[in-house]
Amino acid sequence: MPASTPALSAPLTFAPRLKDYLWGGRELERLFGRELPDGVIAESWEVSGHPAGVSVVDRGPLAGRDLPGLVAEFGTRLVGRRGEAAAARGEFPLLVKLLDASHALSVQVHPDDDYAAANGLGEPGKTEMWYIVHAEPGARIIHGLTPAMDRAALRRAVAEGRVQDCLNRVCVRPGDSILVPAGTVHGILSGVVLVEIQQCSDTTFRIHDWDRLAADGRPRELHAERALDAIHFGRTVPVPEAPTLAGSEDGVRREVIAHCDHFVVERLFLEAGARFTHELDRETFEIWGVLSGRATVEPADAPSLALDRARFALLPATMGTFDVRAATDAVALRSYLPARQCPARDSNPEPAD
**Residue of 284, 265, 288, 309 whose CA lies nearest to 129:** 265
Sheet harboring 205-208: ordered strands across?
167-171, 140-145, 186-188, 107-109, 205-208
**Structural contact between residues 81 and 324, judged by C-beta atoms closer than 8 angstroms:** no
Contact 281, 81 (CB under 8 A): no
pLDDT at residue number 122: 94
Give me the pLDDT at residue 2, please. Answer: 46
Q: How far is CA 44 from CA 34, 36, 57, in A?
A: 10, 10, 15
Give the pLDDT of residue 353: 53
Give pLDDT, residue 7: 87
What's the pLDDT score for residue 235?
87
| 196 DSSP β-pair partners | 97, 130
Q: How many angstroms separate the CA atoms of 169 and 226, rounded?
A: 23
> What's residue 4's pLDDT?
58
- Determine which helix (DSSP H) or strand (DSSP E) holds 171, and give its type and residue range: strand 167-171
Cβ-based neighbours of 116, under 8 Å, separated by 6 or more:
123, 124, 125, 201, 203, 345, 347
> Which residues, 6+ apart, have CB-to-CB distance to 317 below 8 Å?
76, 77, 78, 79, 80, 81, 83, 280, 281, 282, 283, 284, 285
- Give the total residue count for the chain: 353
Cβ contact 53:42 at 8 Å = no
Of residues 266, 263, 1, 275, the one with CA closest to residue 127: 263
Q: What is the pLDDT of residue 153?
A: 97
The C-alpha atoms of residue 230 and residue 183 are separated, in whole angstroms, by 6
The residues facing 43 across adjacent strands are: 19, 99
pLDDT < 50: residue spans in the chain: 1-2, 341-352
**How far apart are alpha carbons 336 and 135 in whole angstroms?**
26
Strands of the sheet containing 128-135, edge to edge, are 17-19, 43-47, 94-101, 192-199, 128-135, 177-180
Distance from the Cα of residue 153 to its chain's centroid: 31
**Domain annotation for the chain: domains and CATH numbers:** 6-230 (2.60.120.10), 244-336 (2.60.120.10)
Distance CA 10, CA 300 (A): 9
What is the pTM for the complete model shown?
0.94
Cα torsion 338, 265, 101, 211 to 10°: value is: 30
**Which DSSP state fits 50?**
-
Can you tell me the distance from the alpha carbon of 341 to that of 83, in angstroms, rounded to the nearest whole number? 8
Q: How far is CA 262 from CA 16, 91, 99, 155, in A?
A: 23, 14, 20, 30
